[in-house]
Amino acid sequence: MATLSSSTPGVRRILLGVADWNPFPSLLRRFLLFSPGLFFVVSYLIAISIGTWLLKRPWATKSGSIDWIDALFTSTSAFCVTGLSVVDTGSYFTFAGQFLIMIMVQVGGLGIMTFAALLFLSIGWTVSMRQRSFIQGTYASDFTHDIKQLIVFIFAFTFIAEFLGAVLLMPCWGMGPSFRENVFYSVFHSVCSFCNAGFSLFPDSFVRYRGNVLFIFTVTSLTILGGIGFPVMRDVIHYLGRTRPRRLTLNTRISLVVTVVLIILGTALFWALESRYSMAGMPWQDQFLVSYFQSVSARTAGFYSMDFRVVDNATLLLFMVLMFIGTSPGSTGGGIKTTSIGVLAVVAGNRIRGSEANNVFRATLSDEAVTRTITVFIAAVIFILLMIFLHMVGQQGDAPLNQSRGMFIEYLFEVVSAFGTVGLSTGITPRMDVQGKLLIIVTMFVGRVGILTLVYLVAARKHAPSYRYAEENILIG
């Protein structure tokens, strides 16, 4: 039988080609060329699956094991920067498991696509125009920003803020078990605060620190910086750094105004509703700190400095509104976004005054922005109603009627919290069955990627009809 010599030129080229072939970069290149919406969804699904598998490893938990549904729930909550938990993070997971959760929160907060773009740019690969458009559309109010500078700004601002936050949190722990543990506590909670994820290493979240001024203002400052959005921070920094100031963008002005209004209004209403009840007997300084902390945290951070099981139903409704609104676009948080509620308020105000133009801050909102906002709002409401309906169907017959009536608001609160990627809970999540946990997992996932993807698809694809029918009026109101 004839044999082939490796010295043969044709065979040598084949052997060298096989030796140099690496399918991994090729697969990554193909994956990067997916449509941005598909890339966004698939990347989170892959990350959540890997996170679930890692949390199942014996080294991740102190008992050496965790149920698949609980591992999947924790992984989804971390990557979707929610903070809802079915087990106590501080006592159930080992140091390695807690470190893994922190990394998942960091990756999920900044966005998997942003990390992928940084990886490809750092090794010299080009990012497709569709991916650039998606990232710029998420983190910039216009498309004039260079993609490299934009990504560098996102990572630099994030790590500077988290480093300063960790330094400020160090004195808050007092004489802890060890210096290393104090450092990890500071870094863990700084990352979770900036990424607006409500994971805490304490079983009562931050109840024990509700009177610590340095702690409260450090955590809330990190939460606000992470939730205000990278486009806003970049615009503000450029505005302050210019010798000849230019006008802030409309996106920045609306985001800042709505954020400030929500913080002040949330603080005042929480104090008015709870000062004579759950906060009765507290010093007025503590009442202010608790009210301010909960107003900031309720919009997607998910931390709490008082027991939510003792607050009034009116307070729960207030928090559901804040959780539904959420943070600003291009941030680490969720919700329908502050700009959406701002646009809806502008449209309603102009219509009440009889004006057809959507004018605000000496600018006019585009029809596309208004349409996109209404689409997101309607889609969010329908999705939440669907999820709470499925929860109620799943609970039929499991509890007496008088108890199920009371459970309705708890499930509604949990669904809104999951959709807004907040993490606040009335305590019902750990008691849910597998079906209930799966519904919350889907809600967290859609809250993090579904609405954003919907906005992108609506903005990117315009299918105008080639003809129109005669207009007719209908009765409204």
Q: How far apart are CA 337 and CA 140, in angstroms?
A: 15
Q: pLDDT at position 221, please?
A: 95
Residue 6 maps to a domain: no
Q: pLDDT at position 398, please?
A: 62
Which two structure tokens, joined as six digits, stand for 158?
Answer: 């994030």
Is the model more confident about 213 or about 34? Answer: 213
> By C-alpha distance, which of 222, 141, 234 is closest to 189?
222
Is the model more confident about 100 or about 471? Answer: 100
Phi, psi dihedrals of residue 421, rounded to the nearest 5°: 50, 50
Q: How confident is the model at residue 272 (pLDDT cuts 50, 70, 90)?
A: very high
Q: Spell out the residues 6+ positions from residue 167 whose beta carbon is closer than 8 angstroms to its own.
A: 186
Residue 410 maps to a domain: yes
Collapsing DSSP states into helix, strand and coil, what is residue 160? helix
Q: How far apart are CA 94 and CA 63, in angstroms?
A: 9
DSSP run (H or E) holding 419: helix 401-419
Is the model more confident about 298 or about 404? Answer: 298
Alpha helices, DSSP H only, in 80-146?
A: 89-92, 95-110, 112-122, 129-139
Burial (CB count within 10 angstroms: exposed 0-12, middle 13-18, buried 19+), residue 406: exposed
Q: pLDDT at position 26, please?
A: 52
351-383 per-position pLDDT tens digit: 888 888 888 888 888 888 888 888 889 889 999
Domain, as residue range, for 376: 22-460
119-135 per-position pLDDT tens digit: 555 545 455 555 555 55
Q: How confident is the model at residue 61 (pLDDT cuts 50, 70, 90)?
A: very high
| C-alpha dihedral sign at 245, 247, 249, 253 | positive
Q: pLDDT at position 413, please?
A: 93
Radius of gyration over alpha carbons of the chain, in Å?
24
Q: How confident is the model at residue 112 (pLDDT cuts 50, 70, 90)?
A: low
CA distance readout (Å), 442 to 40, 178, 183: 15, 39, 34
Cα dihedral angle (401, 311, 201, 182), rounded to 10 degrees? -170
Residue 422 maps to a domain: yes
Separation of CA 128 from chain center = 25
Specify whether the backbone of 423 is left (phi greater than 0), alpha (psi in -120 to 50) or beta.
left
Specify whether the backbone of 125 is left (phi greater than 0), alpha (psi in -120 to 50) or beta.
beta
| Cβ pair 332, 196 in contact under 8 A | yes
Separation of CA 320 from chain center = 16
67-82 per-position pLDDT tens digit: 999 999 999 999 999 9
Residue 405 maps to a domain: yes
Residue 27 reports pLDDT greater than 60 = no
408-459 per-position pLDDT tens digit: 888 999 999 999 999 898 888 888 889 999 999 999 998 887 665 655 555 5
- Bridge partners (DSSP) listed for residue 93: 61
Residue 30 reports pLDDT greater than 60 = no
Q: pLDDT at position 8, please?
A: 45
Collapsing DSSP states into helix, strand and coil, what is residue 169? helix
Q: pLDDT at position 212, please?
A: 93
Domains held by the chain: number = 1
Q: How confident is the model at residue 263 (pLDDT cuts 50, 70, 90)?
A: very high
Annotate 288-346 with DSSP letters as a single string.
HHHHHHHHHHTTTT---SS-GGGS-HHHHHHHHHHHHH-S-TTSS--SS-HHHHHHHHH
Residue 90 maps to a domain: yes
Residue 206 maps to a domain: yes
Q: How many CB atoms lie within 10 A of CB 469?
A: 6
> By C-alpha distance, which of 273, 313, 271 is closest to 290?
271
Residue 10 maps to a domain: no
Residue 222 maps to a domain: yes
> By C-alpha distance, which of 84, 130, 76, 133 is closest to 108?
76
150-192 per-position pLDDT tens digit: 788 888 899 999 999 999 999 998 776 788 899 999 999 999 9
200-255 per-position pLDDT tens digit: 999 889 999 999 999 999 999 999 999 998 888 888 888 887 655 577 888 899 99
Q: pLDDT at position 119, please?
A: 57
| Cβ pair 81, 332 in contact under 8 A | yes
